[in-house]
Structure 1
Amino acid sequence: MPRAERERQMIEVAEAVFAEHGYAAASMDEIAERVGVSKPMLYEYFHSKEGLLLACIAGSRAELRQVTEEAVVNATSAEDALSRGLLAFFVYIRERRQAWSLLRHEMALIGTSAADEIEAVRRQQTDLIAKVMAGYFEEGSPLRVEALAEIVVGACERLAIWCEQHNEVTPERATDYAMAALWVGLRERTG
């Protein structure tokens, strides 16, 4: 099997094991067994359990960035861009529950490189929202645009966690809830 494909397979299995057991309780032995490789091979590819976790988070971060960027490409207004981006986010967390589980369990990871990587995911989404929205906002403070983007990310992160407890809430419905709360304040800032 080509190295890139084997690496992808290891990451997928590790993501499942981390989501099932939590990072601390997950075992490299179980991951290796599920993948069908030796434990030393996992270490050869990722150097440590934390290195494997970082690879999982980095992969999720890249996927999330791609789906949200693609979602807003053909937006016709600030409201349309926000709605499309939010829907892409909520669809991502619904379809990629294991990846989302890794991204949201940062409290167990404080003090590790993974905490920095998770914060980088938030920063990535904030930067994307600020960049997209800056094109629609009236002239104003870049600091204000960044603050508004941070509010969107924080609100959506909490809503996504709530959605996990309410499986009946579809991505479309979650987007409607978020838009109803967020767009009122953002609408006043657009030209």
Structure 2
Amino acid sequence: MPREVRERQMLDAAVQVFARRGYRPASMDEIAELAGASKPLVYLYLNSKEELFSACVRREADALVRAVRDAVDPDSPAERRLWDGLRGFFAHTAAHPDGWAVLHCQARTHGEPFALEVAAVRQKLVDIVTHLIAETAAEGSCGAPLAGHEASGLANALVGAAEALAGWSNARTDEAPSATERARTLMNFAWAGLENLTNGRRWAPARP
């Protein structure tokens, strides 16, 4: 079997075991058995449990960012780009719940270097959304562009909401909402506010 195919099988097995057992309880024996390989072969290809976990985090992170980018048509209106990006995000996290669990739950709780890998992929998503929000404001009629920190803050809030919604949906034991339903929920939550903001209709507390 070609090495590339064998490594992919090992990573598939490792993602499944790490997601369901956690990093520390997961055993290389179980990963090797699930992959249909010998334990020495897993060590030969991927060196150690720590390096295997890092490889899983990198692969799942790259796949998630790629899914979001591929879902967005850069020539579409801003509202459509946000909608398509959210659908791409939720479709991927719903189709790969073990990969999402490795990124969102396991990697974040075991310190460096895993947490740094997750922070890097999160920043890539935030950058995509920040750029989208800034473009939306520029296309709107608010007259003045959003400050950089304001666009970045909104993007961080939106990505955080998407992460929370994906985690909540994937953890449900009853019927989970579809990727489209998840994206619609977040659009209903976020778009009205973003649309008002970028068109100069900012919220302010009522005077007593």
Q: TM-score with structure 1 length normalisation?
A: 0.91
Q: Which residue of 2 aligns with 1:82?
A: 82
Answering whether residue 195 of structure 2 is matched by residue 172 of structure 1, we say no
Alignment of 1:2-151 (within 5 A): 2-74=2-74, 76-106=76-106, 109-138=109-138, 139-151=145-157
Name the Cα RMSD after superposition.
1.8
Give the % identical residues.
36
Find the structure with the greater CA-based Rg. Answer: 2
* Letter in structure 2 aligned against 1:173: E
Aligned mates of 2:116, 2:108 — CA distance in 1: 13
* Letter in structure 1 aligned against 2:79: E
Aligned mates of 1:78, 1:106 — CA distance in 2: 33
Q: What is the total number of aligned residue pairs between the two structures?
A: 191
Q: CA deviation at 1:151?
A: 0.7
Q: 1:82 to 1:61 in 2, by over 3 A?
A: same
Structure 1's unaligned 5+ residue stretches are none
Aligned mates of 2:123, 2:31 — CA distance in 1: 30
Q: CA deviation at 1:43?
A: 2.0
Q: Aligned with 1:26: secondary structure?
A: coil
Runs of 4+ in 1 over 6 A off after TM superposition: none
Aligned mates of 2:50, 2:132 — CA distance in 1: 33
Q: TM-score with structure 2 length normalisation?
A: 0.84
Query: After superposition, what is the alpha-carbon deviation per residue over 1:77-117, rounded to whole angstroms, capped at 9, x for unaligned?
Result: 22111111111111111111110111121476332311111
Alignment of 1:146-165 (within 5 A): 146-164=152-170, 165=172
Aligned mates of 1:21, 1:162 — CA distance in 2: 19
Q: Which residue of 1 aligns with 2:204?
A: none
Contact 1:75 1:84 in 2 (8 A): no
Query: After superposition, what is the alpha-carbon deviation per residue over 1:133-171, rounded to whole angstroms, capped at 9, x for unaligned?
Result: 333222232222111110111011111122122533111
Structure 2's unaligned 5+ residue stretches are 139-144, 200-208
